[in-house]
Structure 1
Amino acid sequence: MPWVAPGKTTRSKDYRGSGSFATFLIIGPVCFFLGILFASFPYDFPLLWTSDPVPDAYYNQLETHLRFIHQSPPLIARLLNIITAVGFLGFFIKLFKPSEANVLFDGASLVLYVIGVGVYISNIVKGLRMVSAGGWDEGVKVDGPYTGEVILGREDSLKVLSASNTILALVLVGVLVLQAGQWYAERKEADDTIAADEADAQKKEAKEVAKASKKKN
């Protein structure tokens, strides 16, 4: 790989692996956003995971909840942007002069992280703006592959928003899985290296014993 630092491995001194501070900069924001999505799961559950009819009062409650979130003070949105930027900072640190392990695990994690940010901006933020505006009479216009345009009402729009939360949660869990996979790969490689060193030491000791026995004979 041309972008991999030459000669850099997981045993190099400047290798930034699962135990580095940059990993904390990645895992911290991901767990923070997963916590927010987990808090929204009770609201999303009746829309996506049950077949029971949902009363209108529930949609009114959910709409009030989402409007309250979107109309929160600007400080909240700025903090979310800062926490998102912290995650990108962690990726850029780990991928600066990376090893092959960094490219495989951290590169794939960065791709998922970017996808998550895209889902948040394109679906969730847009849905929150629609809820806050309250323009359900006109519906949400979405380009369709056959009709050219699809009009989504309040119920369908809220379901799309809940589905976007689920997609974002799965993407963020994928980031954690890749980071955990990096830790496991490093541990496995370290164990294999120790086992190989011990085997070499035993072979060397056996050769020395054989030489000593030949001299005695």
Structure 2
Amino acid sequence: MSLKGIGPFATFLIIGPTCFFLGILFAGLPYDYYVLWSTPNAIASEPNVDPRSAYFDMQENHLKFLHSSAPLISRMLHIVIATGILGLLMKLYKPTEANKLFDGASLVLYMIGVTVYIANIVKGMRTVSAGAYGNMELAEGESFKDKVLYEGNEPAAYIGREDSLRVVSASNTILAMVLIGILVLQAGQWYAQRKESEEIEQLDNARDEKRKEKSEKAGKKKQ
């Protein structure tokens, strides 16, 4: 790190928010798991009911609760996001080669995560809170599907309730992978710098030993 003493603090500013966001995503994993990857066992008393429907309902209520939370909550979340960006920019000020490689890639992944959050997750929470799904009822006898613009003779695509919730779950998964990638890059940078320090220390020790041997030989010649 080009600025002495700033590296560990800046790394803390990166790892702290990253782990914080992973914790938030972990809280939604019980819903995302059954919405995306696995089908729960059907209830014996209701064999004809889709066992996933309960998890769609729980996920929908969870997203509505998050979106309707006090403005202070979203402001705190945005402050934490800004903290991670600040840490990355601090490490990229007068960067070394290691900073360009590891921290540059971390910044790219971080901005990808912010984009996924804004474009998919925030939009998804607004859609869920408003109930503005593609097949929502607009008026008696009419639905959104009847109102969409037509391209030629084919209706434009629309997304229903379950697909909208799946998009949010998939976005959570993508964001989690991005955040894990940032942690891997930061750990890789720490390991690379540690190995570099060990190699420099070994070279310094070897140089000191050679100097010591030369001085000892010179002393014997004088005697």
Post-superposition offset of 1:157: 1.3
* Aligned-partner Cα distance in 2 for 1:77–1:128: 13
- Partner SS, residue 193 of structure 1: helix
Aligned partner of residue 158 in structure 2, secondary structure: strand
Aligned match of 1:77: 74
| Shift of residue 163, structure 1, vs aligned partner | 0.7
For residues 154-165 of structure 1, the aligned pairs below 5 Å read 154-165=161-172
Structure 1 residues 185, 148: closer, same or farther in 2, change over 3 A?
A: farther
8 Å CA contact 1:15, 1:98 repeated in 2: no
Matched, 1:166 2:173: yes
Q: Is 2:13–2:84's contact at 8 Å kept on the other side of the alignment?
A: yes
CA contact (8 A) 1:15 1:99 kept: no
1:23 aligns with 2:11: yes
How many Å separate the matches in 2 of 1:99 and 1:15? 14
Using the alignment, how far apart are the partners of 1:109 and 1:125 within structure 2?
22
Match of residue 204, structure 2, among 170, 184, 197: 197
The alpha-carbon distance between structure 1 residues 44 and 96, as it changes in their structure 2 partners (threshold 3 A), is same
Query: What is the aligned partner in structure 1 of residue 120 from structure 2?
Result: 123
- Matching residue of 2:60: 63
Please list the CA deviations of residues 113-147 of structure 1 after superposition, one character each: whole Å capped at 9, or x if unmatched. Answer: 00000000000011111100112324799xxxxx8
Return the offset for 1:212. Answer: 3.7
Q: Distance in 2 between matches of 1:29 and 1:13?
A: 22
Higher RCO, 1 vs 2 (CA within 8 Å, ≥6 residues apart): 1
TM-score using structure 1 length: 0.83
- Aligned equivalent of 1:144: none
Q: CA deviation at 1:15?
A: 6.7
Aligned to 1:48: 36
Asked if structure 1 preserves the Cα contact closer than 8 Å seen for 2:92 and 2:100, the reply is: yes
Structure 1: stretches of 5+ with no match in the other structure? 1-9, 142-146
CA apart distance, 1:181: 1.2
Rounded to whole Å, the distance in 2 between the matches of 1:152 and 1:46 is 19
CA distance in 1, matches of 2:164, 2:13: 34
Which has more radius of gyration? 2
For 1:183, which of 173, 180, 190 is the aligned residue?
190
Which letter does structure 1 place at the counterpart of 2:102?
A: F
**Aligned partner of 1:61: which letter?**
M
Looking at structure 2, the residues matched to 171 and 114 of structure 1 have their Cα atoms a distance apart, in angstroms, of: 10
CA distance in 2 between counterparts of 1:167 and 1:13 reads 34
Aligned equivalents of 1:74 and 1:113: distance in 2? 24
Specify the code of the residue in structure 2 equivalent to 1:29: P
**Number of corresponding residues:** 199
For 1:36 and 1:80, locate their aligned partners in 2 and report how far apart those are by CA, in whole Å.
10
CA RMSD of aligned residues (A): 2.2
Percent identity of paired positions between Structure 1 and Structure 2: 57
Q: Which residue of 1 aligns with 2:23?
A: 35
In the aligned structure 2, how far is the partner of 1:65 from the partner of 1:127?
A: 12
Q: Which stretch shifts more, 156-165 or 56-65?
A: 56-65
Query: Would the alpha carbon gap of residues 81 and 148 (structure 1) be closer, same or farther in structure 2, given more than 3 Å must change?
Result: farther
Letter in 1 for 2:69: S
Unaligned runs of 5+ in 2: 41-49, 137-143, 149-153
